[in-house]
Structure 1
Amino acid sequence: MYRSTELTSAEIAAFENMRPRLAGLAYRILGSLSDAEDAVQDTFLKWAATERAAIANTNGWLVTACTRRCLDMRRTGDRARVDYVGAWLPEPIQLSSESDAEKDAELTSNRSMAFLMMLERLTPKERAAFLLHDIFELSHADVAETLDTSEASSRKLVSRARGNVGRAVVRHSATPDRQMAFLSAFKTAVTEGRIDDLSRLLAEDARLSADGGGKVPAILQSIEGSVPVCAFASSDLRTYWADHDWVLVNLNGMHGALIKYEGRTTAALSFAFDDDAKIRDIYIVRNPDKLAHLDAVHIH
């Protein structure tokens, strides 16, 4: 097997400059930060073992290699998800409030939990084509080369993806004050049992989903409707989280909360708004595997 020469400092720097971009792409394709990190590392190893002098466009090669690795991992993950216990939610990421990317509304929207859930409607190739073209701004020619298909197929994949994702991806648009108002109302319902403020902020068809992955207690079916959601928050969650601490953080570009017990994160709370700035979805991640990375991690 051919093994390339040792990486130069310039080559290492070139890869590190691309690492945030590759990690952001991988995270959106896979919905898991830990899997995304594995995909980026696999890309690095493949690049290090390649005849790099023959690569005309290093950045393009890295994006292609990372995307193809993610698609392989996604196919394996989709098969494993058939046996997943309860609702599956993306792995949340905590972002520093100083992140430059956070100030960009478009970047904030396309890494939100709502956006990642919308991507779940797509096939792996549709997801990759949509992200590469509409989010990372590659041409259809480059997308076609990355996915080993034609430009016509790339256009069809992106078009189908847009149709499936729809306008719902703008549900991030509620103001920070509105986001904080919801967190305050939800916390009041859970800690004090008062639901008036929460009820006013919820859409009638609001839905609460929890992901325990079969590893910790969590509801197996989503709770739908503002009245049942309020009842669950003010009764069941009040019992579960009565002695827990709430830490406000930035989750996937929006205000959210980490629920902690004796310093350990036991849940991550995030949400999505509808076009009327009412809460449409509440996401509670309980799976400990998906909480392990909730330190200050930057995804661009």
Structure 2
Amino acid sequence: MDRIDEATVFERRRGFLLGLAYRILGSRAEAEDVLQDLFIKWLEADKATIANPAAWLTTACTRHCIDLLRSAQRARVDYIGTWLPEPIQTLHHESPEHSHELASSLSTAFLLLLERLTPKERAAYLLHEIFDLDYPQVAAALDVQEATCRKLVSRAKASLGNAQVRHQPEPSRQQQLLSAFHAAIDSGSTQGLAALLSEDVELCADGGGKASAIRETLYGLEAVLGFVGESLSTYWRDYQWQEVEINGGRGVVLRGGGEVVAVVSFGYDGEGRVNRVFIMRNPEKLGLLGSGVLV
């Protein structure tokens, strides 16, 4: 296998590997770094000893991500304010089934739920439940016995519960929310928005100590509506709004002076009402916005 063939094999697997790395790490930037390191490792590997290149790449990617996630989780203890996954701009797929699966496994709410898991539980769950690898394949990727692998997935399922956060309402419902949210910012009146939020709605923001953002999560309809109708309406009214797909659902990119200053995405309950509002303000997590992930 020459260099061109080696690169072709890697590129064919790039989308899968990037999607896996992002879901494990919650960071597009870190996922891109993983793929750069992995590509070099792949070029240097003895291909004569690799019977299944796809499996080799999946295993190397998974193990590298697990090591990084362990370090990242320790670093998040000292993170300033609320930590949120790095938002990504996703692309709408022509297949409704594919779009739903994409949205459900990339949503910010679901990625936050995965934070409950240990690194190996997270990797095992994603490989088996999202990417449909069988238990022997997952066990090989994690270098554990199949019985251990089954326990990892079982524990992950128990920790995640019914994972209702993977619910995404119809696009028309999401668009209705965006219109009401924008109207509330423009006018300061939240009456229309209130009907689309759950009573136990939460709002959190990630500034990372590098941009102004609330550091504590707001709980309840009154608190969230008050913040949107007063604070956000005051400071966001003059920003440029762009409605895009963010982590598989409809969201908003806000720009000021030509720069992205905030990204807003939402989580939904089983009845299609918003129960989570996520605001990303950390400039370090906004730099790669616009790169699509389809797997």
| TM bracket (short chain) | over 0.9
- Residue number in structure 2 paired with 1:295: 290
TM-score by length of 2: 0.96
Quick one: which amino acid aligns to residue 130 of structure 1?
Y
Report the Cα distance in structure 1 between the residues aligned to 2:14 and 2:29, rounded to whole angstroms. Answer: 14
Q: Find the counterpart in structure 2 of residue 57 from structure 1.
A: 52
Name the counterpart of 2:131: 136
Gap regions ≥5 residues in structure 1: 1-5
Map of 2:200 onto structure 1: 205
Give me the whole-angstrom Cα distance separating, in 2, the residues matched to 1:106 and 1:95.
12
Rate the CA distance shift 1:102–1:294 in 2: closer, same or farther, 3 A.
farther
Indicate the residue corresponding to 1:3 in structure 2: none
Q: Which residue of 1 aligns with 2:222?
A: 227
SS of 1:85's equivalent in the other structure is: coil
1:37 aligned residue: 32
Separation in structure 1 between the aligned mates of residue 69 and residue 95 of structure 2, nearest angstrom: 29
Among 255, 267, 279, which residue is 1:272 paired with? Answer: 267
Counterpart mapping for 1:134-283 below 5 A: 134-283=129-278
Residues 24 and 299 of structure 1 are in contact (CA less than 8 Å); yes or no, is this contact kept in structure 2? yes
In the TM superposition, what whole-angstrom CA distance separates every residue of 1:201-241 from its partner, at most 9, and x where no partner exists?
11111000100001011000000001110000000111221
- 1:171, CA displacement in angstroms? 4.0
> 1 CA distance for matches of 2:212 and 2:73?
23
Residue 299 and residue 76 in structure 1: after superposition, are their counterparts in 2 closer, same or farther (change >3 A)?
farther
Q: What is the aligned partner in structure 1 of residue 109 from structure 2? A: 114
* Distance in 2 between residues matched to 1:82 and 1:100, nearest whole Å: 40
- Cα deviation, 1:267-295, whole Å, max 9, x if unaligned, reads 00000100111111000000001111112
181-190 vs 31-40, greater mean Cα deviation? 181-190
Letter in 2 for 1:279: V
Q: Secondary structure at the match of 2:252?
A: strand
2:93 corresponds to 1:93: no
The TM-score with structure 1 as length reference comes to: 0.94
- Contact 1:171 1:274 survives alignment (8 Å): no
- Count of aligned pairs between the two proteins: 295
Partner of 2:19: 24
Question: CA shift at 1:139, angstroms?
Answer: 1.3
Q: Distance in 1 between matches of 2:68 and 2:186?
A: 40
Q: What is the CA–CA distance in structure 2 between the aligned matches of 1:92 and 1:213, rounded to whole Å? A: 14
Q: What's the offset of the Cα at 1:101? A: 8.3
The one-letter amino acid of 2:82's match is: A
Gaps of 5+ in 2: none
Question: Offset of 1:297 from its aligned partner?
Answer: 2.2
Does residue 126 in structure 1 map to residue 126 in structure 2?
no
CA RMSD of the aligned region, Å? 1.6
Q: Which amino acid aligns with 2:204?
A: S
User: CA contact under 8 A between 1:199 and 1:227: conserved in structure 2?
Assistant: no
Q: Decide whether the 8 Å contact of 2:168 with 2:249 is kept in 1.
A: no
